[in-house]
């Protein structure tokens, strides 16, 4: 008996395998970072965390200028002459 495998099935099968691998990596990454996130959040002022969470949700929905919350603010001091 000869079984013909459609080429699109093979492509879909490979795509599913890749997604499963990515899923496992994502779960592992979440497990590794969860404790650090909980510790950091516990040390911060809850009002600040609530405000940032609200801004992050707004950025996810609106995009554009709302994404500026992810920019790092840098304050540079005076240059020391050498």
Is it the case that residue 3 has pLDDT exceeding 80? Answer: no
The predicted pLDDT at position 80 comes to 75
Helix residue ranges per DSSP H, the chain = 7-43, 46-62
Question: For the segment 23-79, what is each residue's pLDDT rounded down to a tens digit?
Answer: 999 999 999 999 998 998 899 999 999 998 999 999 999 988 888 888 877 777 777
Q: In b/e form, how buried is each residue of 34-68, taking b as 16+ CB within 10 angstroms?
A: eeeeeeeeeeeeeeeeeeeeeeeeebeeeeeeeee
Per-domain residue ranges for the chain?
Answer: 10-70
Is it the case that residue 2 has pLDDT exceeding 70? Answer: no
When pLDDT is cut at 50, 70 and 90, the band that residue 4 belongs to is low
Separation CA 68–CA 51 (nearest Å): 14
The predicted pLDDT at position 13 comes to 86
């Amino acid at each position: 008996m000869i079984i013909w495998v459609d080429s699109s099935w093979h492509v879909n099968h490979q795509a599913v395998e890749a997604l499963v691998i990515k899923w496992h990596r994502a779960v592992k990454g979440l497990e590794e970072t969860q404790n650090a996130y909980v510790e950091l959040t516990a040390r911060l002022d809850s009002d600040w965390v609530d405000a940032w969470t609200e801004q992050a949700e707004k950025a996810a929905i609106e995009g554009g200028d709302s994404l500026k919350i992810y920019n790092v603010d840098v304050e540079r001091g005076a240059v020391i002459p050498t």
